[in-house]
């Protein structure tokens, strides 16, 4: 988690760990003049299986990272944003926040939960001058996407190449995105140019038509 390029302030902690997160935020707040934005973007893919076959511990971990982790981060940072009377909250949801995703029920449920959290916080924090939006990425290049497609191919008993081709075929723009695209969207939502943008779920996926 990088907080400030100017101060080169960074740390690593488990996002659902409220005590660790609170300590990190207090340390950061003592060293920075203000908090421009909070980007709650920790996530994990969770299990790939039919619901009845999912290990409860795997389900709980997916929910802890993808949804509970957003609560712990915001609980620690919102008081600082309120005190300064401005700021932006950016939540990481997913294209699954608007579309179902077969065999990924823990992940999908958590990402839909993030959308509900965004809707409520936009109303709660708007009077304090704080915008709240959610990013909805689709398939993102990198090792995480490789792992997800590998798991999908195994469960569906198809080749990795077929799973990858099907993923791209479901995107109107016929391509996956790179992490830079998510960073650029978050940068915009945190910038003065987006000062009146709040309560929105913004896709960055090339328009996923379906996640089947």
Count of alpha carbons within 13 angstroms of residue 59, beta-carbon side: 12
Distances (CA, A) of 24 to 12, 38, 62, 136: 9, 13, 22, 26
Quote the CA–CA distance of 149 and 165 in Å, as a whole number. 10
At 197, list the tokens. 């943008």
| Beta carbons of 99 and 48 less than 8 angstroms apart | no
| Beta carbons of 89 and 131 less than 8 angstroms apart | yes
Quote the CA–CA distance of 188 and 193 in Å, as a whole number. 7
Coil, strand or helix: which one is 16?
coil
From the list 43, 107, 117, 190, the catalytic residue is: 107
Is 107 known to be catalytic? yes
Catalytic positions: 107
């Amino acid at each position: 988690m990088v907080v400030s390029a100017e101060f080169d302030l960074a740390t690593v902690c488990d996002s659902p760990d409220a005590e660790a997160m609170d300590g990190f935020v207090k340390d950061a707040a003592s060293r920075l003049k203000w908090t421009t934005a909070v980007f709650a973007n920790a996530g994990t893919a969770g299990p790939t299986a039919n619901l009845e076959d999912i290990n409860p511990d795997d389900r709980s971990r997916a929910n802890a990272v993808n949804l509970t982790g957003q609560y712990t981060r915001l609980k620690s940072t919102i008081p600082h944003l309120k005190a300064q009377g401005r700021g932006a909250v950016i939540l990481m949801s997913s294209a699954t926040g608007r579309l179902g995703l077969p065999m990924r029920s823990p992940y999908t449920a958590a990402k839909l939960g993030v959308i509900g959290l965004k809707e409520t916080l936009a109303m709660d924090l708007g009077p304090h001058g704080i915008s709240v939006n959610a990013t909805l990425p689709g398939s993102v290049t990198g090792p995480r996407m490789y792992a997800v497609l590998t798991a999908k191919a195994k469960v569906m008993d198809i080749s990795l190449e077929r799973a990858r081709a099907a993923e791209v075929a479901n995107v109107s723009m016929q391509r996956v995105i790179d992490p830079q695209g998510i960073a650029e969207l978050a940068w915009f939502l945190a910038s003065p140019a987006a000062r009146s943008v709040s309560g929105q779920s913004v896709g960055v996926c090339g328009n996923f038509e379906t996640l089947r």
